[in-house]
Amino acid sequence: MPTIEDVREFWDANPLWTGEAREPVGSKEFFDSHTRAVIQMAGGQIKPWMMPACAKGGAVLDLGCGIGFWLEYFGRDAFTNLTGADLSLNSLALAKRRCELNGIEARFSEQNAEAMTFAEGTFDHVNCSGVIHHSPNPQVSINEIYRILKPGGRAVIGVYYINTALRLWPVLKWAAAVLPALKGRGREGMLQSSTLDELVRLYDGSENPIGVAFSRAQFEAMLPVKASFH
């Protein structure tokens, strides 16, 4: 079973967007191209439910901030009490650079989502996009998110979802040979994966130690309170 140190090592060597971008890593153009890609993947706009529901001065944590998209986006929307946390120091350095280039003020903290050092009830809002499905112990990470939320606080947690295409992968994989390969981080052969688990793991790179997709029932069973799904 891969460990949290294996996860740290992979993301330190492969921060988000560094395998896809044509622009110099850490440049304004690099971060701007990443912003365009994220918004395109979100259907052309960031949905209102993805934004913090607290006051602009509320304590907002971006857990697993990667290279800082959400910190920039929240900061541009006038949220002023921002913290970016990540397991990867290289990712944190890029997130800090992104904020500096865009005039966004934020604090940065090296954190393991399974054992955070934040006190109980620290944050009004926790954004956690693309972290739980890379955790050796997803349930522990979810418990930690709820521990650090203030009473009445809100968390937005994004994970890989077993949609119709993934459910039908044993059938659809035969048609995948005609699809263009994803490039960067050794993903060129991912569409030839024989299993769903392998396909999901390879999406973030050939050396990615952990990548898991959840059904709605599986994910809902891990939540301590009722949640809305999007």
Q: Quick: pLDDT tens for 149-170.
A: 999 999 999 999 998 888 887 7
Whether 47 and 131 share a structural domain:
yes
Parent domain of 201: 160-221
Residues of the chain with pLDDT under 50: none
* Residue 88 maps to a domain: yes
Last residue of a domain, one of 109, 133, 158: 158
Whether 147 and 186 share a structural domain:
no
Q: Other C-beta atoms within 10 Å of 104: how many?
A: 21
Last residue of a domain, one of 158, 173, 199: 158
The tally of domains found in the chain comes to 2
* Residue 29 maps to a domain: yes
Q: What are 106-135's pLDDT values in tens digits?
A: 999 999 999 999 999 999 999 999 999 999
Q: What is the enclosing helix (H) or strand (E) of 141?
A: helix 138-148
Per the CB < 8 A criterion, the answer to whether 135 and 141 are in contact is: yes
Secondary structure (3-state) at 104 = coil
- The enclosing domain of 23 has a CATH number of 3.40.50.150
